[in-house]
């Protein structure tokens, strides 16, 4: 399966064509599907919203993408860089009014298993992110099933800088 990440945690300060609005994400998803992509991962953004996990930001992006490409699996991130406190990420997941098909959870982050458990309780497919050998060891003790494993080949130095 080929999955496209439409914008990552990047904004237009990195590149003027980065899709940000729900309509832009939907148009970009449609372009990717036309090229053979089977799923998309998005980082919905909105100014003046404290958390990118906020339910209205997620709902607007998912609704727009699904209207443009019905049946396309859409995932989001739950990374600590979005909301540092694990309890805030868990609360955000529990507040989502529109659910993604999957969500990534970085195993090396504090509270990762609790975030994965909240996703699993809501019926959201967990995609576990493994960046380091320590993350692999942490994940091995999880009691929450993951549907997919996302292995980052960024190396130890890159992983440490993003923790």
pLDDT of residue 48: 45
Tens digits of per-residue pLDDT, 110-159? 999 999 999 999 999 999 999 888 889 989 999 888 878 888 776 555 44
The structure's pTM equals 0.86
Tens digits of per-residue pLDDT, 56-114? 888 999 999 999 999 999 999 998 888 889 999 999 999 999 999 999 999 999 999 99
pLDDT of residue 154: 60
CATH 3.40.50.1100 fits 78-163, yes or no: yes
Q: Where in the chain are the domains?
A: 1-75, 78-163
pLDDT of residue 163: 39
pLDDT of residue 161: 41
Q: Look up residue 56 and give its two tokens.
A: 């209205």
- Report the alpha-carbon distance of residue 156 to residue 33 in Å, rounded: 33
Of 156, 157, 107, the C-alpha closest to 130 is: 107
């Amino acid at each position: 399966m080929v999955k496209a990440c439409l914008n990552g945690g990047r904004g237009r300060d990195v590149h003027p064509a980065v899709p940000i609005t729900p309509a832009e994400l939907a148009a970009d998803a449609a372009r990717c599907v036309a090229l053979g992509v089977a799923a998309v991962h998005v980082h919905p953004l909105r100014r003046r919203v404290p958390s990118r996990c906020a339910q209205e930001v997620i709902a607007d992006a998912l609704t727009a993408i699904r209207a443009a490409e019905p049946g396309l699996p859409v995932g989001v991130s739950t990374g600590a860089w979005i909301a540092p406190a694990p309890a805030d990420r868990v609360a955000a997941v529990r507040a989502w009014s529109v659910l993604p098909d999957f969500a990534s959870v970085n195993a090396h982050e504090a509270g990762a298993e609790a975030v994965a458990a909240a996703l699993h309780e809501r019926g959201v497919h967990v995609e576990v992110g493994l960046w380091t050998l320590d993350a692999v060891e942490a994940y091995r003790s999880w009691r929450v099933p993951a549907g997919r494993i996302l292995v980052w080949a960024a190396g130890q130095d890159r992983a440490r800088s993003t923790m």
